[in-house]
């Protein structure tokens, strides 16, 4: 279908690229320990982008038998009102694409009954008195093909599975929720599921006792789950679109040492066994690992074809697109790690049975933050954050003394990451991000 569509576009427009994707999803959910829903869905669609008389237009369809000529006509009509841009379509051949394992038979062949059994097993393992257990299992199998009129082609198959579990405990006016997940391209092993159970159980046990929150500028350990407020500003600032808009604090800072010399951040679509790994992006650009921050030095920004053209640079292979709408910048696997530290593995690294990744021994008074409320709201790009804690633990004399409520943490990500107090030994995947816990000094902690 890609070739037919591009053949229909030749001679009608200056250039074009297209994406075809088919996705099959199987979802199972348990609420309050009981099977709530189970089903299979499938969707396929075509997206066409054209450049006609220097302007860009797009069109998409989910029709079972799409008409290539009609889709080209709609894309050309869109271009008449589209933005002016000079796109240079890549011409990479399939032979030049990097080999990367993205498809796993065990995941693709897992039946609905197998996923239900997995969910039920987790419900049984997580059952606690006076607690509500929710479990969700979602499996996806996707086929992707991309091509353009410059001769580039690429196609691959991918699998992904996400297993999420949460426990909610309500005691009077106290609501406690503990959550964790497994996300990978291959099915979780028994050890992966046991690690998920152990992680939830460890954090739940430590949270049962409520203690008074501390107050002041204190050392705070942000777990991989609690790091969102710190890493989100960097993800936005390292986007080429934000740089073009003039709002990135890192614009013009490539080559400057702005962070702790031990910190490296990479976007790596070539990581084996991850759901967002791929040999080629959605614009036919071969995938590569991009060093965004190397040993504290700003390395580069991520671009798709359009933002790269406007910035007069090259795409980094971060083009992403859906069936409808034009391509946009999308991260793949984000790795926040210590330079020369442990490498991120393909599978879900089992978290240590202790919280904080071994970073709390020397803390006289501080916090472990595992979840914050309202992350992503406000002026994220500035790096400043101020959020109530959703799940946090007080640390006194190197030990966890209990869970804190009615407290908030505040700081600026750019300032805090200039000098990191320590990197935890609990590096793990959480969705599409790999990171260990980080000890950050001088975080403002306030009682509410």
DSSP string, 255-315: T-B-S-TTEEEEE-TT-TT-TT--SB-TTSPBP--EEEEETTEE---B--HHHHHHHTS--
Q: Please check whether residues 313 and 277 belong to one and the same domain.
A: yes
Tell whether 141 is covered by a domain: yes
* Number of compact structural domains in the chain: 2
What's the CATH code of the domain at 45?
A: 3.30.2290.10
Residues 263 and 226 in one domain: yes
Which residue among 155, 170, 202 closes a domain? Answer: 202
350 Rama sector, left if φ>0, alpha if ψ -120 to 50, beta otherwise: beta
Do both 314 and 416 map to the same domain? yes
- Do 254 and 178 lie in a common domain? no
Tens-digit pLDDT string for the chain (448 aa): 899 999 999 989 999 999 999 999 999 999 999 999 999 999 999 999 999 999 999 999 999 999 999 999 999 999 999 999 999 999 877 667 788 999 999 999 999 999 999 999 999 999 998 999 999 999 999 999 999 999 999 999 999 999 999 999 999 889 999 999 999 999 999 999 999 999 999 999 999 999 999 999 999 999 999 999 999 999 999 999 999 999 999 999 999 999 999 999 999 999 999 999 999 999 999 999 999 999 999 999 999 999 999 999 999 999 999 999 999 999 999 999 887 766 665 444 444 457 999 999 999 999 999 999 999 877 789 999 999 999 999 999 999 999 999 999 999 999 999 999 999 999 999 999 999 999 999 999 999 8
Say whether both 197 and 279 belong to one domain: no
What pLDDT sits at residue 98?
A: 80
DSSP 243-268: HHHT--TTTT-TT-B-S-TTEEEEE-
Residue 138 backbone dihedrals phi, psi, to 5 degrees: -130, 125
- Does residue 289 form part of some domain? yes
Q: How far apart are CA 115 and CA 187, in angstroms?
A: 10
Residue 208 lies in a domain: no
Within this chain, do residues 137 and 186 fall inside the same structural domain, yes or no?
yes
pTM as predicted: 0.92
Whether residue 226 sits in one domain with residue 178: no
- Tell me if 130 is assigned to some domain: yes
The reply to whether 225 and 363 lie within a common domain is yes
Q: Which residue among 147, 169, 202 closes a domain?
A: 202
Cβ atoms within 10 A of the Cβ of 265, count? 23
Structure tokens at 315: 């795409």
Whether 293 and 364 map to the same domain: the answer is yes
All residues at 6 or more sequence positions from 319 whose CB lies less than 8 Å from its CB, including other chains: 281, 282, 283, 285, 304, 305, 327, 328, 329, 330
Write down the pLDDT at residue 143.
Answer: 97
Tell me whether residue 207 is in a domain.
no
Phi, psi (deg, nearest 5) at residue 337: -145, 165
Phi and psi angles of residue 277, each rounded to the nearest 5 degrees, phi first = -70, 150
Q: Give the whole-angstrom CA distance, residue 224 versus residue 230.
A: 10
98/245 same-domain check: no
CB 100 within 8 A of CB 278: yes
Domain that holds residue 194: 2-202
CB 367 within 8 A of CB 221: yes
**What one-character DSSP code corresponds to residue 10?**
B
Same domain, 145 and 288: no
Q: Do 152 and 276 share a domain, yes or no?
A: no
Which residue in 445, 447, 443, 381 sits closest to 417, CA to CA? 443
Last-in-domain residue among 202, 237, 259: 202
């Amino acid at each position: 279908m890609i070739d037919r569509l591009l053949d229909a576009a030749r001679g009608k427009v200056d250039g074009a690229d297209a994406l075809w994707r088919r996705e099959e999803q199987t979802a199972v959910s348990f609420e309050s320990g009981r099977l709530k829903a189970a089903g299979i869905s499938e969707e396929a669609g075509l997206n066409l982008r054209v450049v006609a008389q220097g302007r860009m237009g797009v069109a998409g369809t989910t029709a079972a038998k799409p008409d290539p000529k009609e889709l080209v006509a709609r894309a050309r009509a869109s271009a008449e009102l589209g933005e002016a841009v000079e796109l240079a379509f890549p011409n990479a051949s399939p032979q030049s694409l990097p080999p990367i394992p993205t498809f796993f038979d065990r995941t693709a062949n897992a039946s609905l009954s197998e996923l239900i059994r997995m969910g039920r097993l987790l419900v049984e393992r997580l059952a606690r008195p006076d607690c509500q257990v929710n479990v969700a299992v979602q499996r996806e199998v996707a086929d992707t093909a991309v091509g353009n009129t410059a001769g580039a082609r690429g196609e691959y198959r991918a699998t992904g599975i996400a297993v999420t579990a949460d426990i909610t405990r309500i005691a009077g006016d106290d609501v406690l929720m503990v959550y964790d997940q497994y996300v990978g391209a291959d099915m979780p092993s028994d050890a992966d599921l046991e690690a998920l159970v152990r992680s939830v159980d460890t954090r739940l046990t430590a949270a049962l006792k409520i203690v008074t929150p501390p107050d002041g500028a204190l050392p705070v350990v942000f777990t991989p789950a609690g790091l969102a407020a710190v890493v989100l500003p960097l993800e936005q600032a390292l986007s080429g679109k934000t740089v073009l808009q003039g709002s990135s604090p890192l614009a013009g800072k490539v080559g400057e040492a702005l962070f702790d010399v031990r910190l490296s951040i990479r976007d790596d679509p070539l990581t084996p066994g991850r759901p967002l790994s791929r040999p080629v992006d959605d614009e036919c650009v071969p995938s590569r690992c991009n060093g965004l921050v190397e040993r504290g030095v700003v390395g580069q920004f991520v671009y798709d074809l359009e933002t790269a053209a406007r910035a007069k640079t090259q795409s980094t292979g971060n083009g992403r697109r859906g069936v409808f709408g034009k391509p946009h910048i999308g991260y793949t696997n984000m790795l926040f790690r210590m330079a020369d530290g442990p490498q991120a593995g393909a599978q879900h690294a089992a978290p240590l049975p202790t919280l904080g990744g071994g970073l709390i021994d020397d803390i006289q008074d501080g916090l472990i933050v595992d979840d914050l409320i309202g992350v992503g709201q406000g002026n994220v790009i500035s790096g400043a954050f101020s959020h109530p804690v959703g799940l946090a633990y007080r640390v006194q004399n190197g030990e966890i003394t209990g869970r804190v409520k009615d407290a908030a943490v505040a700081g600026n990500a750019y300032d805090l990451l200039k000098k990191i107090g320590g990197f935890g030994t609990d590096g793990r995947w959480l969705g599409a991000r790999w990171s260990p816990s980080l000890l950050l000094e001088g975080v403002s902690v306030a009682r509410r």
